[in-house]
Every structure is written in structure tokens, then in C-alpha cells.
Amino acid sequence: MERRGSKGKNKGEKAYLVLEIVENGELFDYIMHGGSLDGSLVKYYFKQLIDGLKYLHEQGFAHRDLKLQNVLLDKNLNLKIVDFGFSIPLTGRDGTSKLRTNLGTNGHKAPEILRGLRYSGTAVDIFASGVMLFIMHTGFPPFKDASLGDELYSIIASRNAEDFIAVYGQWTKEPLNASFRDLIFGLLAYNPEERLTIAAIEQSTWITEDPPIATKEMITEEMGKRCKKQEVVVEEGLKKEAKIEEMKERPYLSSPLERNPYQGKRMPIYDSKLAKATQFFVESYFGDVVKSIDGLLIRGDGYNKKSKEYDPFTIKYTQLTGIEGEEEATQFILSISYVRPGLFSFDFTRKSGSSEAMVDMYKEIVEHLQKKGIKFFQ
């Protein structure tokens, strides 16, 4: 279609992309709210992912941002790859088949991208598919980033079978058998030249033999259950947003600045797109809530507190446990933001330590505030 500017000048061609409706949402959400998939279901979706990736590469393109958030499920619960914003011809802009732009999502980027090297679009897509496979099977990412300085990735890069089973096996519902381990080692190889090709993936033992692939009936039953969980999550989210909008409209009789020790500091504005499960809203002066949390964590649980003078609304709490010299740190960030006068958001984000410790701490804070009679909602 021809494009024209405001003065009628020809501005060249404009392309429109028409896509099918993919109504069952991101595969990521099914795992986030329902946990890891059984091995047979993992194989079902991983084979579909590889089939899609094979077709894409045969057409001469690399995706460069593969992740579970970028695969959707259609009405028949089949996988569809989406978001081609970072895609590029495999030949590259200079025809050398070596790409150079640092693109992708942290935790899914191949080592060569992190090292600033020129790379193969095919190889980095294969690497990202390995991260996706691991998350589908275990429910958590295999490492923070694919550098040799990352303790977890170094286990995979060195193909240390014993440590792989010892470290990752204790966190999974199903045992990590040798065929799955070998496939992961091949997909996530540090050297792109040693990474598996699509053809090698299709012939791997895990794909061809063990475990059996899920039937369509199994997919419909299991993912149907997870769809219902998704509907509950969405409904709760909509209720939460409606509650926030209602609270914004309520009149507020006194200014929080009258008792604000941080007067003159700019408090962040609440962004509903960043809503989390470990978050609540307070209908009273935020400083009183902070004092109450401090009383519980610092005096009760032995946490240390740290914030910066220019940003008093971002507070870091750290708790050390274990014997001296071998302490483990549980650390989280409390971020306070403004919703409307008299309504503030308290958002907790884990920085280190286990997710379970973070959730337990959050529940403890909520129960503490309830006992204190502080008015809030989640």
C-alpha cells in the first residue's frame, strides 16, 4: 500500500500484517500459575516449537527473542510463535550470515551475544529453545545468564552430569533422566559450533524414545484445567484494577505531606502494568506502614535496612542466616509508589534467597499489619 504525507508526498510502501486470533494466551502463564508440565506434555509443545523454528529458518529468518512469553496457544491449544520484532534474515545485513546486534531477553541470550561476538541467528534461536524446554520441564529458569561466571550455567557448559542431577534434580517433580540432560547440554552448549542442529534435535533420544508424547486428549484435559486457573487469575486481576480505580475516586480529607518526613522527595507513580502477587495497597499514611514493617523485620526477624537519601521509597531489607563465615542472605526490595492522595502501593521484589522465603516473609508482613489494624487490601 502506498503511503502519502500530509502534503500528499509519496512516502513509499507500508506493509500490513494480518494475523490469526490466538485466544488461549501465553504458554508462560500456564506454567507460572500451574507449575511445570509433565514430560509428555513438554515433548508435545517442544516438538511444535522446533517444527515452527525449523520452518522459520527454512524461510531464511531468525527470531532472536524466543521465550515462553512469545509463544501463544490457539483455540485448539496448539503452539504459535509470535513477536517477530527482532527477527532478521539469517544472511544478516551484510550477507555474511553473522549477526551483531545485542538483542533478546536476559536469561535466554546465548553466550556469544553476551560476549559481544558476531553470531549465527540459527544457533542463538536453538539456545533460547533450550531455555524454554528447561522451564517447561522444571518450572524455573536454568540460570541467570549464560556466562561462565554464572555458577549454574557453568554446570551445563562443562557438561557436568553429576552436578546437573544433584543441583537441578532436587527442584523438580519428575526425575531428570539422561536423555533430557544430554538434550539440554546440546541445546545450551557454550560453543555455538557444538550446539545441536534442528536435525540433531529431531533425532535425539529424548525426542524419539523417552518419554511418550502426549495425546491430543491429554493436552485438552490438562491445559483445560490450567485455562480455568487462568480465568480465575484474570478475574482477580480485573477486580483488583476496578478496586484501585474506585479508590482513586474517593475523596481524601487531609494531605499526606502534613506528616511526610520525605517531603520534597518525588514518590514514584503507581503503574498497574507492574502489579505482582506480593503487593498490597494502603489507605493510610505510608510512613506508619513502613514503621510497622520495620518493627517486624528489624527488631523481630533480624533484618538490616538500607535506603538511599535521594530515593527513600525504595528500601532494601537483608537477613543473614547460618553460621558465621557461611551465612546465606535473604534480600528483598520494598518499593512504595503513589496511587492517589491517601492510597499507596507497597511492592515486594526478591533479590536473593529462595522464593519460598520471600513468600513466607510477605505473608508474615500481611498478618502483622492485620494485627496492627492497618487498613489495606491486596
Provide the CATH number for the domain around residue 316: 3.30.310.80
Q: Supply the mean pLDDT for the chain.
A: 81
Residues annotated as part of the active site: 65
pLDDT at position 233:
56
Cβ neighbours of residue 221 closer than 8 Å, sequence gap 6 or more:
none
Q: How confident is the model at residue 320 (pLDDT cuts 50, 70, 90)?
A: confident
State how far the alpha carbon of 123 is from the alpha carbons of 74, 112, 142, 200, 325, in Å.
Answer: 27, 10, 18, 13, 42
Place of cell 480505580: 245
Same domain, 176 and 262: no
Same domain, 183 and 290: no
- pTM for the structure as a whole: 0.62
Same domain, 211 and 265: no
| CA end-to-end distance (rounded Å), the chain | 49
Same domain, 265 and 215: no
Q: Which of 222, 245, 276 represents a domain boundary (last residue)?
A: 222
Same domain, 77 and 190: yes
- For the cut 80, the answer to whether the pLDDT of residue 154 exceeds it is yes
pLDDT at position 346:
83
When mean pLDDT is compared across 122-126, 298-302, 356-360, the lowest value belongs to: 298-302
Provide the CATH number for the domain around residue 27: 1.10.510.10
Report the half-sphere exposure of 332 (CA within 13 A, side-chain side). 23
Same domain, 216 and 264: no
Domain limits at 326? 258-377
Residue 14 lies in a domain: no
Residue 228 lies in a domain: no
- What's the total number of domains in the chain? 2
Same domain, 40 and 152: yes
Same domain, 182 and 104: yes
- For the cut 60, the answer to whether the pLDDT of residue 270 exceeds it is no
- Per residue in 30-77, pLDDT (tens digit) is 888 788 898 999 999 999 999 999 999 999 999 999 999 999 999 999
pLDDT at position 88:
93
Burial class (CB in 10 A: 0-12, 13-18, 19+), 141: middle
Same domain, 187 and 324: no
- The 3-state DSSP class for residue 313 equals strand
The x, y and z cell numbers of residue 59, run together, are 524461510
Same domain, 191 and 307: no
CA dist., res. 19 & res. 74, Å (int):
12
- Per residue in 74-89, pLDDT (tens digit) is 999 999 999 998 999 9
Residue 241 lies in a domain: no
- The 3-state DSSP class for residue 161 equals helix
Q: Regarding predicted confidence, which is higher, 112 or 25?
A: 112
CA dist., res. 69 & res. 83, Å (int):
9
Q: Which of 163, 198, 222 represents a domain boundary (last residue)?
A: 222
Residue 211 lies in a domain: yes
- Per residue in 223-262, pLDDT (tens digit) is 888 876 666 555 665 566 665 555 455 443 333 333 344 4
Q: Residues of the chain with pLDDT > 90: what percent?
A: 34
Q: Please, what's the b/e burial string for 1-29 (b: 16 or more CB within 10 A of its CB; e: otherwise)?
A: eeeeeeeeeeeeeeeeeeeeebebebbbb
Q: Tell me how crowded residue 149 is: count the other CB atoms within 10 A of its CB.
A: 8
